Chains A and B, each alone.
Chain A
Amino acid sequence: MAVLDTMPIFSYIWKKLAGIHLTIVLCLLLAADLSLGYVCLNRNEILFAPLNDVGLIAWINTYGRCNLKSTAWLLALLVLLTLFCINTFVCTTDRVARLIRHRKKYPRLRLLFRLAPHLMHYALILILTGYLSSYTFARVLDSRTLVPGSSLRLPGTEARIQFQSFSPDYYKGSRMPAFDQHVIRPRARLLLIDGDHHRKAELSYNKPVIFKNYGIFLKDFAPKKKGGGMNSNERIDLTIRKDPGVFLYMLGMLLFTAGIALYLTDWMAPKNGKRRPDE
């Protein structure tokens, strides 16, 4: 902050970037851009789904560039989010610095409550940074298929994943006739082999397995029905990702939730026996 005070041009830029008007304008532009994104994305998912596999840069160079009419909103979104992050960072840092300067004015708990909105701001930046690193630096092994007994090696390691057996739960109720005899929860038993170290794990939908910093996710499976059908051969399709962004956006999510909880606690608590005036 002292540097800013001594250099007026930086101070001017800093002030402009910290402006609440900029926040509001950016939020509205983001809302408008995302609404436009809905129109471009709706029923055109096949254009955007590969973003999760090929990464942002490769996607922009291929799908993005060749379908600019449908993808321009996403490119605009990236620019707007970057500006929004800068604005949030500058604005909140400004206020946090002020709060810290005057910290003696507040009791410790009060100070914590006053920091809650800023915690949310920093958490949002963390989430967006996590997203960006996820889409930029994640190493994704495109769809891998295993059948019972087969295995695959994780790239850059000697570790292997072996698919041992498939023992799904079948739908037992009678409320949904279309699900009669169909799998309701797929369960694939995996053996994770790392040298002499063996570990068993169960992979299912929404239940990934983490192994050697790789996330192993069940993408699809067969058979879907007891006794088979068209796809009667047992198989699992996996998505395998080494994603450095996960930790960041999960942490951000946690901090944001803590920030909301703190803010609501402060806000709902009676102030000197009275409710808040805004009620």
Chain B
Amino acid sequence: MNKILWFFLYVPILLLPILVCACGQSGDRSGTEDHNRSFIQLGEFTLQKVSPERIEVRDGAGRRLVLVPKNAPAPGNVDSNRLIRTPVKRVAAYGAFNVSVLKALGVLETTLVGTTYPTEKWHIPEVRNGMKSGKIAFLGSDNSIDFERLDQVQPDLVLTWDRSIIPMLNDLDIPCVITSSTTAMCLNTRMRFVKFLAPFFHREDQARNFFNRVNAALTEIREQTHNAGPPLKVMWGDIYEKRVLVEPGNAWVAELINTLQSDYLFDDVFGTSCIEINVERFLYSGKEADILFTYRTPEQGATSKKALARLNPILSGIRPLNDGKVYAPLPHYAQSYQRLDEILKEIAAILYPKFYKDYALRYFMELPETNPETRRRR
């Protein structure tokens, strides 16, 4: 066999490990120069600037939508329910996340006309006030929207995670954007998601400022927790009846925990947010975890470790409920995307209290061993 063949045979094989290391898991990680690019990818969401007057977006359901300024002529080849005139003036939004993104963009007060939570469930003052004054309508709960009411408020756009409303919205000729995705958002996508909705409202500058603020907070936290000592072992999830749901290793919280030199115990799990795994895997990590972040809020029963164990007896054996710590999100946590920098800092403060002395938790609460009432009775 000639020497050239030997060369061609073995060089690729020898080079393979080097190439593998060099390539690694790259990806579009830089977020600072998005405004100069014609194509921006934010997880499963994309923005493509086709021309100064046309932006094509791909939402969480993989649907292509076209953004065109209000005064520009309508493109011919686009369905009316896929065409969005910008800046959008009236928005109906499902859930808390979409509303808090509007707040991050600074358009909540001027654009929000309908939501799916009643007034008492809101912790954002602008929404509460708007609902009280009748400016923002309650459209019915997530699963039973009052479409007549929705039609009455005449939104230019609906932000939702529920795909089942798409056919009805098509009939009403109201475009919608699916803002949830099948794969959990990584930290970078979470921080930059605001840039996806920014062109809908011509608020690119606000989105950039928001990202820079969160990025600066993350950099500061990283510096502060550098050389933090032995890593803490953290798990994020809960058991509901017979189903075990956790945040996978590709979720932003997992990435944040790992970035802060801690050890996220479901790092090997990959997939959608709140992914379901088997109970054995959960309990295995539960044996060594120092901290558990539960999905349940105190209103959903996470008032103490005892209460949590009572809800799920299977949980009672895991370490955080006995020797470790358990944190529950407070009800306004899910409505606080606009304060993502503070949330990141709070998670860092939970993981490393020695670096954040006298820090008062605002988005999470540490669960006591027992409920205060029980303690008092004793």
Please state if B167 and A147 are interface contacts (CB–CB under 8 Å).
Answer: yes
Contact of B20 among A39, A143, A147, A237 (CB under 8 A): A39
- Chain A, interface size category, equals 35 or more
Q: How far is the CB of B227 from chain A (nearest CB, A)?
A: 28
Please state if A67 and B27 are interface contacts (CB–CB under 8 Å).
Answer: yes
* B237-256 interface code vs A (CB 8 A; 1 in, 0 out): 00000111000001000000
Please state if A70 and B23 are interface contacts (CB–CB under 8 Å).
Answer: yes
Residue B285 is within 8 A (CB to CB) of chain A in the complex: no
Please provide the chain B residues from 51 to 102 with a CB less than 8 Å away from any CB of chain A in the complex. Answer: 58, 61-64
Please state if B162 and A146 are interface contacts (CB–CB under 8 Å).
Answer: no
Residue A257 is within 8 A (CB to CB) of chain B in the complex: no
Residue B212 is within 8 A (CB to CB) of chain A in the complex: no
Q: Do A66 and B28 contact each other (CB < 8 Å), given the known contacts A178-B242, A233-B143?
A: yes
Q: How far is the CB of B344 from chain A (nearest CB, A)?
A: 22
Please state if B164 and A231 are interface contacts (CB–CB under 8 Å).
Answer: yes
Q: Which residues of chain A are near B8, meaning CB under 8 Å? A: 25, 28-29
Please state if A32 and B183 are interface contacts (CB–CB under 8 Å).
Answer: no
Rounded to whole angstroms, the CA-CA distance of A263 and B243 in the bound complex is: 50
Residue A24 is within 8 A (CB to CB) of chain B in the complex: yes
Residue B25 is within 8 A (CB to CB) of chain A in the complex: yes
Please provide the chain A residues from 6 to 31 with a CB less than 8 Å away from any CB of chain B in the complex. Answer: 21, 24-25, 28-29
Please state if A233 and B164 are interface contacts (CB–CB under 8 Å).
Answer: yes
Q: How far is the CB of A50 from chain B (nearest CB, A)?
A: 7
Please state if B20 and A36 are interface contacts (CB–CB under 8 Å).
Answer: yes
Contact of A28 among B9, B26, B44, B242 (CB under 8 A): B9
For the residues of B in contact with A, the DSSP-based class is mixed
Q: How far is the CB of A61 from chain B (nearest CB, A)?
A: 8
Q: Do A222 and B164 contact each other (CB < 8 Å), given the known contacts A25-B8, A63-B41, A143-B62?
A: yes
Please state if A50 and B62 are interface contacts (CB–CB under 8 Å).
Answer: yes
Q: How far is the CB of A66 from chain B (nearest CB, A)?
A: 5
Please provide the chain A residues from 176 to 200 with a CB less than 8 Å away from any CB of chain B in the complex. Answer: 177-178, 180
Please state if B26 and A145 are interface contacts (CB–CB under 8 Å).
Answer: no
Q: Do A67 and B26 contact each other (CB < 8 Å), given the known contacts A28-B9, A143-B63?
A: yes
Q: Which residues of chain B are near A65, meaning CB under 8 Å? A: 39
Residue A84 is within 8 A (CB to CB) of chain B in the complex: no
Please state if A43 and B270 are interface contacts (CB–CB under 8 Å).
Answer: yes
Residue A241 is within 8 A (CB to CB) of chain B in the complex: no
Interface-central residue, B44, B58, B163, B244, by most chain A CB under 10 Å: B163
Please state if A43 and B250 are interface contacts (CB–CB under 8 Å).
Answer: yes
Residue A265 is within 8 A (CB to CB) of chain B in the complex: no
Rounded to whole angstroms, the CA-CA distance of A72 and B22 in the bound complex is: 12
Q: How far is the CB of A198 from chain B (nearest CB, A)?
A: 20
Please state if B143 and A232 are interface contacts (CB–CB under 8 Å).
Answer: yes
**Cβ-closest chain A residue relative to B21:** A39
Please state if B250 and A67 are interface contacts (CB–CB under 8 Å).
Answer: no
Please provide the chain B residues from 6 to 37 with a CB less than 8 Å away from any CB of chain A in the complex. Answer: 8-9, 12-13, 15-16, 19-20, 23-28, 37
Count B-side interface residues using an 8 Å CB cutoff: 46
- Tell me the number of A-to-B contacts counted with CB atoms below 8 Å: 120
Residue A118 is within 8 A (CB to CB) of chain B in the complex: no
Rounded to whole angstroms, the CA-CA distance of A229 and B278 in the bound complex is: 20
Contact of A142 among B44, B48, B63, B165 (CB under 8 A): B63
Please state if A44 and B58 are interface contacts (CB–CB under 8 Å).
Answer: no
Q: Which residues of chain B are near A25, meaning CB under 8 Å? A: 5, 8-9
Q: How far is the CB of B165 from chain A (nearest CB, A)?
A: 8
Please provide the chain A residues from 127 to 166 with a CB less than 8 Å away from any CB of chain B in the complex. Answer: 142-143, 145-147, 150
Residue A82 is within 8 A (CB to CB) of chain B in the complex: no
Please state if A36 and B23 are interface contacts (CB–CB under 8 Å).
Answer: yes
Please state if A142 and B164 are interface contacts (CB–CB under 8 Å).
Answer: no
Contact of A36 among B16, B171, B243 (CB under 8 A): B16
Contact of B12 among A32, A42, A45, A177 (CB under 8 A): A32
Rounded to whole angstroms, the CA-CA distance of A220 and B13 in the bound complex is: 41
* A39-64 interface code vs B (CB 8 A; 1 in, 0 out): 11011111101100100000000110
Residue A167 is within 8 A (CB to CB) of chain B in the complex: no
Q: Which residues of chain B are near A177, meaning CB under 8 Å? A: 242
Please state if A67 and B64 are interface contacts (CB–CB under 8 Å).
Answer: no
Rounded to whole angstroms, the CA-CA distance of A211 and B163 in the bound complex is: 24
Please state if A46 and B183 are interface contacts (CB–CB under 8 Å).
Answer: yes
Q: Which residues of chain B are near A53, meaning CB under 8 Å? A: 62
Residue B204 is within 8 A (CB to CB) of chain A in the complex: no
Please state if B25 and A50 are interface contacts (CB–CB under 8 Å).
Answer: no
Q: How far is the CB of B325 from chain A (nearest CB, A)?
A: 28
**Cβ-closest chain A residue relative to B165:** A233
Rounded to whole angstroms, the CA-CA distance of A28 and B15 in the bound complex is: 12
Q: Which residues of chain B are near A145, meaning CB under 8 Å? A: 61, 163-164, 166-167
Please state if A39 and B25 are interface contacts (CB–CB under 8 Å).
Answer: yes
Rounded to whole angstroms, the CA-CA distance of A28 and B44 in the bound complex is: 33
Q: Do A62 and B39 contact each other (CB < 8 Å), given the known contacts A36-B20, A43-B250?
A: yes
Q: Which residues of B contact A (CB under 8 A)?
A: 2, 5, 8-9, 12-13, 15-16, 19-20, 23-28, 37, 39, 41, 43-44, 46, 48, 58, 61-64, 142-143, 162-168, 171, 183, 242-244, 250, 270, 276, 278
Listed by A's residue number, 27 A-B pairs whose Cβ atoms lie within 8 Å are: A28-B8, A28-B12, A28-B13, A36-B20, A39-B23, A39-B25, A40-B25, A45-B183, A46-B183, A50-B58, A62-B46, A63-B41, A65-B39, A66-B28, A67-B26, A69-B26, A70-B25, A70-B27, A72-B23, A142-B62, A142-B63, A180-B242, A233-B162, A235-B163, A235-B167, A237-B61, A237-B163
* Additional 12 contacts, C-beta under 8 A, given A32-B19, A53-B62, A235-B167: A24-B9, A32-B12, A35-B16, A36-B23, A39-B20, A39-B24, A40-B26, A67-B28, A145-B61, A177-B242, A178-B242, A235-B164
Closest 3 A/B residue pairs (Cβ): A235-B164, A233-B164, A69-B26
